[in-house]
Amino acid sequence: MRVETTKHRTMGAAASTAPDAEFVLRVENVSKVYGLFYALRSVSLNIRRSSIHGLLGENGAGKSTLVGIISGQRAPSSGAIYLDGINVADADVRAMEQAGVFLVTQEPMIIDHMSAAENLMLGIWPAKGGFVRWSKLKADAARMLKDSGIDPDINAGRLNAVARRKLNILRAMFSGGKVIILDEPTAALTVPDRRQLFDFMRQLKNDGVTFIFISHYNDEILEICDAVSVLRDGSLAGGSEDIGSMTSAQLSELVLGRGLVLFQRERRSFEAEPVAVSLHNVVADDVDLDRLDIRKGEIVGFTGLPGAGAKELAKAIFGLNRSRSGSISFEGKAGQGLPNHPQAAFDNGIAYLSDDRRRDGVVGHLSIAENIALSSLQRRALFGFIQRGEEANLCDGYFSSMGIKAPNAAAVVNTLSGGNQQKVCLGRVLATEPRLLILDEPTRGIDVGVKQDVLRIIDALSKTGVSVIIVSTDTDELVRSVDRVCVFRNGAIYETLTGDDITTESLRRLAQV
């Protein structure tokens, strides 16, 4: 069917001539059944006009299914969705977009080699007889982008993460968006970027746009949203029309169905422990490090702005970024050059968990078992042949000890939720039995429950004598999980915090200058 809205191709909210002035979108008893599995069970919620409505839930709780249904990508098995009082349960994506409902996904749909202006009007280029009207396109784009700080002529590939997300939101608005669904828009954003995005959203909200905001972070929901709904196992676990009445602990309890025990590592001094890894005079892209010692069993946090050297040093140690000079030594032995390839790093007992599992963490179409074994094939092989029995034991071991939720280890990784994919990645690097484990944003994009699991696994590992580096911009995570924090600036360690000096406030102050 086709929803009867043709007049809303302008920015801002429709005039409230609709029957339901208070709620722009009402979801009533929506269920989605796959075979015998209920992905959603009779979910109802009301979204107030010109508000930001938070949607929380664990990976697999049904958030994606719900917004998929609202945006018309899939049809509900039963139930109704009213947009301005009109039932749109049968509308497809096209009809919903014409009606003003847009889903902005995690991965911004941006064509890198086109300009920001062209991207803004992707597919809706103003045309006359098949020819693009460039002057109109440029003028419209310039008007739309005026307040966003994005140059219309810039090549989209050169835009940073926050600008790309803004561009996507603006595109939705330019197409007449009045309800915009943002699926984890803050993933991979730094704190200042996030602030900028939130200001942008508030500004649009005041112009009459309604947002549905999906996030894993309670503090983000509490900061930006007016109301919140929490999904758990496909059902509505609860929510609030007034976000001011909610606390972070209450949200976590709704998400998990139980009180959340936040993990906190017992920090101690490692002065007396032997040095496990020692770095000297490392020079690489964005890195110029004098010296760093990491002791046996110690967890060291690296933090700083992008380009300040935290992430870059981690990659250089693992051989993903080539270092120009510098040496690494293990357990007080003679120094050697830094690895020139991840394989050399693994051979030296260094393992690295990528910050972007989809890009370079998992091989999606291979099974869980094949992914777990991938980095340790060499050492478990005989004349180049994979030892199947040993491989199976290894994978079963990590499959269960990581608590990966899947039917079995033969399941294809693409079918898993983000949190479980992250556990597969972690299993893969742990299977190499490293003495130095480098974790780049280990809990990014995974829900609060799995996050505690991951932090606990890392903590337990360090107690077996493995030294760990956690690269993170999540200050709360650092406070809870490390013994020492190195704050990076200009490629070098600007300050080191230990013990009680590691607080959210001190980290924010030092890292975000």
Residue 184: which residues within 8 A CB-CB, separation 6 or more?
106, 214, 215, 216, 445
**Binding segment (CB under 8 A) for other proteins, from list 30-38, 101-109, 163-171, 459-467:** 30-38
If one asks whether residue 44 binds other proteins (CB under 8 A), the answer comes out as: no
Which of 406, 37, 309, 173 shows the shortest CA–CA distance to 317?
Answer: 309
Q: How many CB atoms lie within 10 A of CB 24?
A: 28
Place of tokens 């030594």: 329
If one asks whether residue 408 binds other proteins (CB under 8 A), the answer comes out as: no
4 φ, ψ to 5°?
-80, 80
If one asks whether residue 113 binds other proteins (CB under 8 A), the answer comes out as: no
Amino acid letter for position 427? G
Cβ 368 to other proteins shortest distance, Å: 14
Give the residue, chosen from 12, 208, 306, 342, that forms a contact with other proteins under the rule CB under 8 A. Answer: 342
Query: What CA–CA distances, in Å, run from 372 to 200, 388, 410, 455?
Result: 41, 13, 11, 19
Encoded one letter per residue, x for contact with other proteins by CB under 8 A and - for no contact, window 212-251 reads ----------------------------------------
What residues from 64 to 83 belong to the interface with other proteins (CB under 8 A)?
76-80
Residue 217: which residues within 8 A CB-CB, separation 6 or more?
186
Cβ 468 to other proteins shortest distance, Å: 18
Cβ 212 to other proteins shortest distance, Å: 21
Q: What is the dihedral angle through the alpha carbons of 272, 277, 283, 286, rounded to the nearest 10 degrees?
A: -80
Closest to other proteins by CB, 69 vs 482, is 69
Q: For residue 224, what are the β-bridge partners?
A: none
Encoded one letter per residue, x for contact with other proteins by CB under 8 A and - for no contact, window 374-403 reads xx-xx--x--xxx-x---------------
Encoded one letter per residue, x for contact with other proteins by CB under 8 A and - for no contact, window 305-334 reads ---------------x--------------
Give the residue, chosen from 10, 44, 90, 400, that forms a contact with other proteins under the rule CB under 8 A. Answer: 90
What residues from 349 to 378 belong to the interface with other proteins (CB under 8 A)?
352, 354, 359-366, 370, 373-375, 377-378
What span, in angstroms and rounded, lies between the C-alpha atoms of 300 and 317? 14
Q: Token pair of 271, please?
A: 């002065």
If one asks whether residue 432 binds other proteins (CB under 8 A), the answer comes out as: yes
Positive or negative, the Cα torsion across 12, 9, 54, 508? negative
Q: Which residues bind other proteins (CB under 8 A)?
A: 1, 4, 28, 31, 33, 35-36, 76-80, 86-87, 89-90, 320, 341-343, 345-346, 352, 354, 359-366, 370, 373-375, 377-378, 381, 384-386, 388, 428, 432
